[in-house]
Structure 1
Amino acid sequence: MTAPNHLWLPAPTDFTLLPDDVHVWRIDLDQPEQQLQSFAETLSNDELARAKRFYFEEHRQRFIAGRGSLRAILGRYLGIEPIQVQFAYEARGKPLLADTFASSGLSFNLSHSQGLGLVAVNCTRKIGVDLECIRRVSDIEALAKRFFLTREYEVLRSLSPDQQQETFFRYWTCKEAYLKATGDGLFRLEEIEVLLSPTEPARLQTSEDWELVELVPGKDFVAAVAVAGLGWDLKCWQY
């Protein structure tokens, strides 16, 4: 199943999240200076310190835009101001809401690439999202042989050079979305089997208890969201 680009709807006024709702937000990370200043005012001291460590100004600005947007989105669901949102971090650095907000049941995952970001939100299921900008990669068959399963590698080898580039990143985002949802590291990348083709959407062969949806967040971008269980309702919003 794939969500076409035109399904990215304007932000709703009602941020109600039903038990079977999965919301995915598309964020523009290239923001004007005035908006960046507004976002920066909502960040914690450790987030501001992290932003200052980026060597390139563009990366610093995109980090501020991403964290500021994340805080604004989560704040709306929680009914609080963005600056009041508090985070905790898992061992591998994955952010999650602090224990203060445990009663909300709200969970999220985020990913960014170049000037775009995605935030996936729900309140009852494990969830992961990954986003990649399609870019020219040399020795792509060697990379696929190293990180993909044999059947996936053979699919990629059978394609034209242009199709190989997009298909490689489709495989990668699908695998990483699932691994982010389960909390496993990239060391399990070679254990996750994904079935896809240039004309067919991806499916997880690994588990029947998970569903995978490919997204089209923009030109030359691919993305995927992995969610535990079946029967959930996906909505894609533009922040």
Structure 2
Amino acid sequence: MIAVVASWNSPPQNPTLDIGSIHVWRVCQAQTKSCLQSLQQTLSTDEQTKAQRFHFPKDRSQFIVSRGALRAILSRYLHINPSLLRFECNPYGKPSLTIAQGGDSLRFNLSHSRGITLIAITNNRDIGVDIEGINPDFPCLEIAEKFFSPLENSVLHSLPQHLQVRAFFTCWTRKEAYIKAVGKGLSIPLNQFAVTCAPGEPAALLTITENPEATSRWSLIELIPSLDMVAAVAVAGDCCQLNCWQWTAEI
């Protein structure tokens, strides 16, 4: 329901989440070797084991920075050492903090693409975020026919060819953000709900086939992480305030 061209500011040392507010943190995955080592030390044993399973160093670094930055950021809100944070997953794989550490109130979601990680945080409600790089060679219309709703496909086909690619990825991020917020992953068919995707059209959830009344319970927010990328946040309820922070390692 809200479209935002994000301005990524320096965060306060101790950020506070007011009622109805959302914080989105942008993390650059390119970090120094010393930063990477420091972040890795904050990971749990399971996370460090998973990091070592990545065959390519780039993928390993991406995992370490994303998970390490997540821990560093959440620790600012909770005033807990990053290495002491504990996570659990729901049956569909969506991560959260344990209840003992505030997982029933402080909610987050994470997404990464092309060297950027976005971490969205709010209080007491479901949230999801997705970021995608715009690929001009991607078979957008073909994929849309398989996964998007009839309404979304109609909009895409109505657009001039030079606008279709960006509209496709705009649609994709909004749909992904929503299913991540709901927390049931791809068990929710992508063609069973529709979002806005035309250029200049405010981000919104338009229809949900199985529960039409539920559309009014969600807000979609468009983010501009960089010129060749698109991103979206989905949150239950309204967004009264959005803050976009640029994370910098404290090393």
* Interval containing the TM-score (normalised by the shorter chain): over 0.9
Q: Which runs of 4+ in 1 moved over 6 A?
A: none
Query: What is the identity, as a one-letter code, of the residue corresponding to 2:201?
Result: E
* Percent of aligned pairs with the same amino acid: 45
Q: Count how many residue pairs are aligned between Structure 1 and Structure 2.
A: 238
Between the aligned partners of 2:227 and 2:115, the Cα distance in structure 1 is 12
Q: Per-residue deviation at 1:13?
A: 2.4
Report if the CA contact (8 A) 1:129-1:180 is conserved: yes
Unaligned regions of 5+ residues in structure 2, if any? 208-214
Counting only pairs closer than 5 Å after superposition, residues 48-127 of structure 1 correspond to structure 2 as 48-102=48-102, 105-127=105-127
Q: Could you tell me which residue of structure 1 aligns to residue 220 of structure 2?
A: 212
Between the aligned partners of 1:103 and 1:188, the Cα distance in structure 2 is 27
Unaligned regions of 5+ residues in structure 1, if any? none
Q: Per-residue deviation at 1:201?
A: 2.3
Q: Could you tell me which residue of structure 2 aligns to residue 182 of structure 1?
A: 182
Q: Could you tell me which residue of structure 2 aligns to residue 151 of structure 1?
A: 151
Deviation sequence 1:31-56 (CA, Å, 0-9, x none): 11111001001001110111111111
Residue aligned with 1:197, SS: coil
Between the aligned partners of 2:239 and 2:165, the Cα distance in structure 1 is 32
Query: What is the identity, as a one-letter code, of the residue corresponding to 2:196?
Result: L
Between the aligned partners of 2:148 and 2:45, the Cα distance in structure 1 is 40
Q: Per-residue deviation at 1:131?
A: 0.7
Between the aligned partners of 1:235 and 1:141, the Cα distance in structure 2 is 34
Q: CA RMSD in A?
A: 1.5
Query: What is the identity, as a one-letter code, of the residue corresponding to 1:21?
Result: S
Deviation sequence 1:172-225 (CA, Å, 0-9, x none): 110111111111222421112112311222211130111111100112110000
Q: Per-residue deviation at 1:90?
A: 1.7
Between the aligned partners of 2:164 and 2:103, the Cα distance in structure 1 is 45
Residues 39 and 231 of structure 1: CA distance in aligned 2, closer, same or farther (over 3 Å) = closer
TM-score under structure 1 length normalisation:
0.94
Q: Could you tell me which residue of structure 2 aligns to residue 10 of structure 1?
A: 10
